[in-house]
């Protein structure tokens, strides 16, 4: 989209908007149905979007498509959810940040595991690494022993977890 076309009067068809944001047209229709991205108007039967709507779509992409928040929480943050069903935007942001921190800690633990396996002197570290096997055996014993059905209800710490990270 050219800078000259960025005025509020500019109208882009749903297919132009979808193509510009690398999304299927059905996604924009779905967002419209949810109230997340109402069309600015119609040209015949075709939904059209102006710059303000495209900016809103860019925000939806940044929040939802990058995995930061759910569609429901995206609706809360952009003011499109039902008023009686909305958490505050700050609550959503706080919960999302906590979830990202947890995912980051999980990814760091996964990175440490892979790094450990790469430096393990065993010929087949995934199957033969003694510390990993001990950790896996312990995980199996704990999973089977801690609940009547044999399944844990909380996540246990791994040798690859960050010891300073919150549970």
The domain made up of 3-85 has a fold known as: Multidrug-efflux Transporter Regulator; Chain: A; Domain 2 (1.10.1660)
For the entire predicted model, the pTM comes to: 0.64
For residues 146 and 84, what is the distance between their CA atoms, to the nearest angstrom?
A: 40
pLDDT value for 167: 39
Mean of pLDDT values over 78-101: 81
Based on the number of CB atoms within 10 Å of its own CB, is 26 exposed (0-12), middle (13-18) or buried (19 or more)?
A: exposed
Q: Are 80 and 86 in contact (CB under 8 A)?
A: no
* Strands 41-43 and 12-13, bridge-based pairing: unpaired
What are 140's two structure tokens? 């199996």
pLDDT value for 78: 87
Specify which of 59-63, 86-90, 127-131, 158-162 reaches the highest per-range mean pLDDT: 59-63
For residues 28 and 20, what is the distance between their CA atoms, to the nearest angstrom?
A: 12
């Amino acid at each position: 989209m050219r800078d000259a076309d960025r005025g509020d009067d500019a109208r882009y068809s749903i297919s132009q908007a979808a193509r510009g944001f690398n999304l299927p047209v059905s996604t924009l229709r779905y967002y419209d149905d949810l109230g997340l991205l109402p069309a600015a108007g119609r040209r015949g039967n075709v939904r059209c979007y102006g710059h303000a709507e495209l900016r809103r779509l860019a925000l939806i992409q940044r929040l939802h498509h990058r995995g930061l928040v759910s569609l429901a929480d995206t609706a809360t943050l952009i003011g499109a959810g039902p008023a009686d069903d909305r958490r505050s935007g700050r609550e959503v942001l706080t919960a999302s940040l906590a979830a990202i921190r947890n995912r980051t800690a999980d990814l760091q633990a996964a990175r440490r595991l892979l790094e450990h396996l790469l430096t393990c002197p065993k010929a087949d570290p995934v199957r033969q690494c003694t510390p990993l096997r001990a950790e896996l055996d312990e995980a199996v014993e704990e999973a089977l022993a801690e609940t009547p059905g044999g399944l844990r209800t909380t996540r246990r710490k791994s040798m690859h977890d960050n010891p300073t990270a919150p549970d």
